[in-house]
Chains A and B, each alone.
Chain A
Amino acid sequence: MQVVTSLTGAFPRSEALVQATRDLDRGRTTTEAVNELYLRTEAEVAQVEERLGLEPRAGGYLRWQDLFRPFAETWEGFTVGPLTRWFETNQFFRQPVLHAPPARVAGAVANWLPLAGATEVRPRKAILPGPYTFAGLMDNRSGETSEALIHRLGRLLGEEVRDLRAVGYTTFQFQEPLLVNRPPEGPRSEAVVAAYQAIAAAADGSTTAIWTYFGDAGPAWPLLTRLPVSVVGVDLSETDVLQLAPPGERRGLGLGVIDPHTSLVEDPAEIVRLARSIAERQRPTTLWIGSGAPLDLLPWEPAVRKLHGLPAVRQGLAASGGNS
């Protein structure tokens, strides 16, 4: 069993970046100065990843105002809508409003990805919204049914995957909190399967992952085990993974062991004990270890502190049979 530790979503902005972006809104600094700071802070995130052995590298997604904004601002068919609560958190996103069937603008989203120009940083992971969560949280005024939209988004995201592979990304993770927060049923479940089949075809053997959080993965587990991805990630603060039936076919399992809802640092030994017992039952090919929900629910310093235990977790699991 291979053990991988990696960032699983957006990283918090540093206090310097907080100040700079506030200043930008108040007209006290320039876009150029803030962009420069974004680059420096992305490099800091990359250093944290390197120092702690977190890979594939994600880069932090510091510029993304929310999970959907790069798409809502660059793909055709969308406008950026009202502030909407981001699940049961004190964060908000601007709801994408879809006025016509969406169309991808090639290369537009790639420009938003962290590490976009840093081709020497490898292996790299692109973190993208999952088709079900994307479709479910937008205001769909396009006339297209939810099922058709989910499937269409799967195809469009598949095209993104294909293009990103060409520029060196090797791993593709799809954020799907809605899959466990509000699991699909009936035809919508089948649309989710079809969407991920489209993504899998475009991935052509690259590693793909679905990451779930903000809900218990138990009810959605039968569907999650059907999806053609390399890894399914679940949030251990929400899900009792020991109660989940092992999938019929062995594959990767992601464990969200770091809880960004609290600044309390998790005990690596406790994580190793739990992950070991889960691995014994689930027998995954690969074990991904990271945070449940993205770490941007925390400020920068506590987020970095909470990552510091991951090398010990990796070593602890390697000692019990995993290869880090």
Chain B
Amino acid sequence: MTDRLFPTQEIGSLMKPRWQLLGQRGEPLDTAAQTDFARWNDRLHFVPGDDPMVRKFLGDRSREVGADTVRDWAALFLLRYLESTGLDRVYDGEARRIEMYEYPVRQMRGFQFVGHVRSFDNKYYLKAAGTGEVRLDHPYHVDEFEFVRDHARATPKLPITGPYTLADWSYNEYYLRRYPGWKGREVRRRAQRDFVVEIAKQAIRPTLAALIEKGCRVIQVDEPAAGTHPEEADIVAEGFNAATEGLDAEFLMHICFSDYRPLFPALLEAKRVHQWAWEFANRDTDGRDGYEILKLFNEYGDTRQIGLGVLDPHRDEVESPERVRDRILRAVKILGDPRRIWVNPDCGLRTRRLEVAYAKLQNMDRGAELARAELAGRAG
């Protein structure tokens, strides 16, 4: 834990380097991938350059390295990448994860995958139906966390998909079927609550407990679906409470790209949330004040920490340190207490090239330093 003001953290996944994608598939690295690997390794030293396996990988025997080793290297790379930008809390850029829904659901019983649904254009996602009582096969993300724990120099912060999002992105058959008669809005709401709470109790909580047992102290629960059904904000909170019941760790709730207003005050009933890590920079454009929404926390008397999004992950434009500073100071002005503020990107930077994301994160670190200096100057 850091004592400095405006500590910094990453929030989600990063783009996978091309050498990882090729290496995992057992395909030979092209020149660009080899150069990229070597260049970043010269900078970050995430693997020993004279390791025979690395030589094979960068030579013409990349297939002999194996997918597991490539994944380990990718996790180490992104860990060092994040640490080198000065972050106080890091993870592995979710180097081992492909998505945030299918993998957790595959660790549970009570679900059946029923086919692909279109997200947009020719992009689809595999969707499951809850067809039975939710049960956990085994806690997940544990090996991944242990690897990060064993290698991280900064504090690890583990991201995990929350119970509401897992339920919302699934079809609810089992819990809906338990209600006789027409499945109108109120029945669907009750069945949704049952589904969320069961996922929370039966699958997420035991997973969180296993992670905490392994030393995980900071856990970010991702609930991107929360913003799409604001009338169910109370269910989001209830699911969070059920997932964290009796557990001792520092919990964040991350929700992005939403209109947050309708989530108030119901969401604030998520009692064990230590920090709200939300998106602000994305809407801080075109003359709009993206940080205005923070006033709602004052209005409802919620004094918990804020994970302040200061980088827009959907733009290549690199925010200047001064812009980051101004955003932080704007939040201080609204919230009053600077000790409540952690600084982070709005969301994972995985849609940005690694060079761009790196520049953004470096400027975030510099911007936080400028904000500290500004406050220190005022105090002096």
Contact partners of A89 in chain B: CB under 8 A: 228
| Residue B19, interface by CB 8 Å | no
- How distant is A201 from chain B, measured CB to nearest CB, in Å? 35
- Chain A residues numbered 213-256 whose CB sits less than 8 Å from any CB in chain B: 216, 236-238, 240
- Of A19-27, A118-126, A153-161, the one with at least 4 CB within 8 A of chain B: A19-27
B182 contacts A299, C-beta separation under 8 Å: no
Q: Which residue of A lies closest to B229 (CB)?
A: A88
Contact with B along A55-79 (1 / 0, CB 8 A): 0000000000110000000000000
Contact partners of B182 in chain A: CB under 8 A: 236, 270, 274
Q: A262-B171, A263-B171, A299-B127 are in contact. Are A90 and B119 (CB under 8 A)?
A: yes
| Residue B65, interface by CB 8 Å | no
Contact partners of B127 in chain A: CB under 8 A: 299
B188 contacts A237, C-beta separation under 8 Å: yes
Total A-B contacts with CB atoms under 8 angstroms apart: 92
A89–B229 Cα distance when bound, in Å, is 9
| Residue B121, interface by CB 8 Å | yes
- Chain A residues numbered 296-310 whose CB sits less than 8 Å from any CB in chain B: 296-302
| Residue B4, interface by CB 8 Å | no
B118 contacts A12, C-beta separation under 8 Å: yes
Contact partners of B169 in chain A: CB under 8 A: 90
A22–B121 Cα distance when bound, in Å, is 10
- Of B109-117, B149-157, B267-275, B325-333, the one with at least 4 CB within 8 A of chain A: B109-117
- How distant is B335 from chain A, measured CB to nearest CB, in Å? 29
A302–B173 Cα distance when bound, in Å, is 12
Contact partners of B184 in chain A: CB under 8 A: 236-237, 240
| Residue A33, interface by CB 8 Å | no
- Of A91-99, A128-136, A144-152, A166-174, the one with at least 4 CB within 8 A of chain B: A91-99
Q: A88-B228, A237-B185, A299-B115 are in contact. Are A83 and B120 (CB under 8 A)?
A: yes
Cβ-neighbour of B176 out of A22, A262, A298, A299 (below 8 A): A262
B177 contacts A264, C-beta separation under 8 Å: yes
- Chain A residues numbered 79-109 whose CB sits less than 8 Å from any CB in chain B: 83, 85, 88-94
Cβ-neighbour of B116 out of A15, A83, A237 (below 8 A): A15
Contact partners of B228 in chain A: CB under 8 A: 85, 88-90
- A65, A92, A261, A263 — which one has the most chain B CB atoms within 10 A of its CB? A263
Contact with A along B200-228 (1 / 0, CB 8 A): 00000000000000000000000001001
Sorting the interface of chain A by its residue count into under 10, 10 to 19, 20 to 34 or 35 or more gives 35 or more
Contact partners of A176 in chain B: CB under 8 A: none
Contact with A along B288-328 (1 / 0, CB 8 A): 00000000000000000000000000000000000000000
| Residue B183, interface by CB 8 Å | yes
Contact with B along A274-290 (1 / 0, CB 8 A): 10000000000000000
B129 contacts A22, C-beta separation under 8 Å: no
Number of B interface residues in the complex (CB < 8 A): 28
Contact partners of B117 in chain A: CB under 8 A: 12, 90-91, 296-299
- How distant is A291 from chain B, measured CB to nearest CB, in Å? 13
Q: Which residue of B lies closest to A69 (CB)?
A: B121
B173 contacts A263, C-beta separation under 8 Å: yes
- How distant is A130 from chain B, measured CB to nearest CB, in Å? 21
- How distant is A234 from chain B, measured CB to nearest CB, in Å? 13
Q: A65-B121, A237-B185, A274-B182 are in contact. Are A301 and B115 (CB under 8 A)?
A: yes
Q: Can you list 30 A-B contacts (CB < 8 A)?
A: A12-B117, A18-B124, A24-B122, A25-B122, A65-B120, A66-B120, A90-B169, A90-B228, A91-B117, A91-B119, A237-B183, A237-B184, A240-B184, A262-B171, A262-B173, A262-B176, A263-B114, A264-B129, A264-B171, A266-B183, A270-B182, A296-B117, A298-B117, A299-B115, A300-B115, A301-B114, A301-B115, A302-B114, A302-B115, A302-B129
19 additional A-B residue pairs with CB within 8 Å, beyond A65-B121, A261-B188, A264-B173: A13-B116, A18-B124, A25-B122, A88-B228, A90-B117, A91-B119, A92-B119, A237-B185, A259-B183, A261-B171, A262-B173, A263-B114, A264-B129, A264-B177, A296-B118, A299-B114, A299-B127, A302-B114, A302-B129
